[in-house]
Amino acid sequence: GDSVTQMEGPVTLSEEAFLTINCTYTATGYPSLFWYVQYPGEGLQLLLKATKADDKGSNKGFEATYRKETTSFHLEKGSVQVSDSAVYFCALSRGNYGGATNKLIFGTGTLLAVQP
Amino acid sequence: GAVVSQHPSRVICKSGTSVKIECRSLDFQATTMFWYRQFPKQSLMLMATSNEGSKATYEQGVEKDKFLINHASLTLSTLTVTSAHPEDSSFYICSARTASNYGYTFGSGTRLTVV
């Protein structure tokens, strides 16, 4: 079945360091791919998404490119801040982004801790 | 933006009792609600999907008689863990979608501890 694998954390970085959180997926067809972020005590928030191969999602300095050939959607940021400390979840949804009942399949989540 | 209020955020209950978790969409109509469960260091696992006014669709391996889901209105869905046992201790989180907006809006989760 469909699945998402992302690197285990925690990832601890100093402020202004470069961030990469790896995410690979297994799915037939062309799923939509997402990164969600969960700040302490809050719900999951959509960070960025990509719906087809070679699409690049970006938001708040974070980027991820949908790579069909490597089935990957790695999250990157050039210079992290303390405020980026959170848990990051990679996820996929089958088929089109549309369809109210399409369900999300999540990775395990990666805790990022950014130190001043 | 869209907000889903989930409560309680934490609950401790005795084994054998039932616990109800509520999710309310505050500024939109939640046509579909998803209920997830997360074990420590594991993925969010989808338990069930419910559409307003219909019976929930449960994922394979989820006991529908144990995890009762009600989605009686477009702004409220509830998950009741019946006859809770320590193995039901987990983090439960809801997510709502509306037919006109394909985004998913998540609640902040409920930490259930059964003692």
Which parts of chain B have pLDDT scores under 70? 41, 99-102
**Integer Cα distance of A41 and A102 in angstroms:** 26
Facing residue for A108 by CB, picked from B36, B43, B104: B43
Cβ–Cβ below 8 Å for B46 and A4 = no
Does B32 touch chain A if contact means CB atoms closer than 8 Å? Answer: yes
Chain B residue closest to A88 (CA)?
Answer: B43
Q: Where are the extended beta strands (E) located within A1-116?
A: 3-6, 11-14, 19-21, 23-26, 32-38, 44-50, 56-59, 62-65, 75-77, 86-93, 104-106, 110-115
**In this predicted structure, what is the pLDDT of residue B51?**
85
Pair of tokens at residue A82: 């303390």
Set of chain A residues whose Cβ sits within 8 Å of the Cβ of B42: 108
**In this predicted structure, what is the pLDDT of residue A60?**
95
pLDDT in tens, B49-66: 988 888 899 999 999 999
Region A36-41: mean pLDDT is 86
pLDDT in tens, A52-110: 999 999 999 999 999 999 999 999 999 999 999 999 999 998 754 444 457 888 998 99
Cβ–Cβ below 8 Å for B104 and A4 = no
- What confidence tier does A41 reach under pLDDT thresholds 50, 70, 90? confident
A62-65: strand order across its sheet: A19-21, A75-77, A62-65, A56-59
Cβ–Cβ below 8 Å for B93 and A106 = no
How many alpha carbons lie under 13 Å from residue A81 in its C-beta half-sphere?
A: 5
- Identify residue A65 by its one-letter amino acid code: T
- Give the gap in angstroms from C-alpha A76 to the nearest C-alpha of chain B: 21
Set of chain A residues whose Cβ sits within 8 Å of the Cβ of B6: 43
